[in-house]
Amino acid sequence: MENRKSYIALLAALLIAGVALLLFPRKETAKAAYQHDEGTVFGTLYHTKYLYHKDLKAEVEAELQRVDASLSMFNPRSTISRINRNETDQTDEMLSEILQLSFTVNKATGGAFDPTVAPLVNAWGFGFKSGQMPDSIQVDSLRALVGLSAIHLNDNKLTKDNPLSILDFSAIAKGYGVDKAADVLRSHGIANFMVEIGGEVVTEGVNEKGAPWRIGINKPDDDSTSTNSELQDIVSLSGKAIATSGNYRNYHVIDGRRIAHTINPHTGYPAQGDILSSTVMAPSCAEADAFATAFMVLGLEQAKQVVRAQPQLEAYFIYSDEQGNYRTWCTEGLDKLIMK
C-alpha cells in the first residue's frame, strides 16, 4: 500500500513537471557571436565589432549622442555650445572630464594642444566660417582670445577671463567618443571588441580569428575621399587605444597654396611642420587623440621630446625630410607591434 502511494506521488510529480515544461518552455541561451555595427556620428562613420550574444547598437549610439550633447560645437544645444554663447557656466560630467584632460595635455605639450584655438580655426575656414582667409591683423586680434590658462574649472563651473573666448573639442571628442562606446561594451562584460570612429580606435582581446586586432596606418597621400588609402604599416593592437592626426586630407587650397586644418595656437597660423601624419598609442583614445594633434603642431624634434617624457605614450610619425621624401620614426614599444 505504501509503495503504491509513493508510486502515485511520483507519477503526479512527473505529470506536474511535464505540464510546467509545456507551459513554460526553457529558453535556450543565445550563443555569443561577433556583432558588426556601423553608423554616423560627429560627422563621420563609426564601426564596432564585439563578441556577445546580442546586438548593442542602440546602447552604443545612445552613449555617443550623450557625447555629442556635451562636446559638439555643431550641436547648438550642446553644453559647450551654450557655454561658448555665455548662456551658462555649468559643465556636465563629460565636459568636466575632457577639460581636465585638456589642461593636462596642454601643459605637457607647452600649449600646442589648446581647445581655445577655436576662433582661429573658424577664421581659417575649418569651423563655422568659410570664405576669405584672415589677414595678419585679424590673426593677431584673435590670438588674444587663445590660451587655456584663461579658462577655469571649479566645482563643475567653467569661467572665462574673456567672455569672447570659445572652446572647440574637435581634436579630442572623437577619441573620447571611442572611449565611451568601449565603456558601454565593457559594462556588459565583453572582453573582445574593437571600436573605431573616423580612424580613432580602441581594442580589447582578440578578433574573430582569435588574433590581436590589426589596425592600419595610412600613408599621408592627398586623398580627401579616403577611397584610395594605401597602408604604410599595420599594427597588432589589443588593450590599447590608437589615434592618428594628419593634414593630408583636411585642408584648403588658396591661390595654389595648401592651408592645413591644424592651427598653431602660438602663431595663429596653420601648422607647417615636417610631420605629415602623427599616430599615438595611449591608455585612452581621448589622450591619444589630443597628443596626436599637438604633435602636428610641434614638429618632429619637439614631438620626440614630449613622447620621451610621457612613458604612457607610444608614437609613429611619418614626416618629410629636407628632400621632400617620406620618412618614419617610431618608438620602440610601438615598433614591436608592427606586423613585419
> Angle CA(153)–CA(156)–CA(158) in degrees, nearest 5?
40
Across-strand partners of 90? Answer: 157
Of 183, 147, 181, 187, the closest CA to residue 164 belongs to 147
In a domain, 19, yes or no: no
Ranges in the chain, pLDDT < 50:
19, 21-29, 127-129, 224-227, 250-260
- List phi, psi (to 5°) of 108: -65, -25
Q: What's the pLDDT tens digit per position in 107-149? A: 999 999 999 998 887 776 654 445 567 677 777 778 788 999 9
Q: Where are the beta strands (DSSP E) in 238-334?
A: 241-246, 251-254, 257-260, 275-282, 314-320, 326-330
Please give the pLDDT value at position 141. Answer: 72
In a domain, 13, yes or no: no
- Domain carrying residue 75: 33-335
Query: What average pLDDT is seen over the chain?
Result: 85
Alpha carbons within 13 A on the beta-carbon side of 329: 19
In a domain, 23, yes or no: no
In a domain, 6, yes or no: no
In a domain, 68, yes or no: yes
Q: Give Cβ neighbours of residue 187 (< 8 Å, ≥ 6 apart).
A: none
Q: The CATH number of the domain where 175 resides is what?
A: 3.10.520.10
In a domain, 194, yes or no: yes
Q: Give Cβ neighbours of residue 85 (< 8 Å, ≥ 6 apart).
A: none
Please give the pLDDT value at position 39. Answer: 95
Let me know: does 333 contact 291? Beta carbons within 8 Å: no
In a domain, 10, yes or no: no
**Cα–Cα separations (whole angstroms), residue 191 to 4, 49, 170:** 55, 11, 29
Q: Give Cβ neighbours of residue 139 (< 8 Å, ≥ 6 apart).
A: 120, 123, 268, 269
Please give the pLDDT value at position 114. Answer: 95
d(CA 60, CA 152): 31
d(CA 258, CA 270): 10
Per the structure, the count of domains in the chain is 1
In a domain, 16, yes or no: no
d(CA 196, CA 49): 9
Of 206, 178, 182, the closest CA to residue 192 belongs to 206
Alpha helices in the chain (DSSP H): 2-23, 57-71, 79-84, 93-108, 118-123, 136-143, 170-187, 285-298, 300-309, 332-335
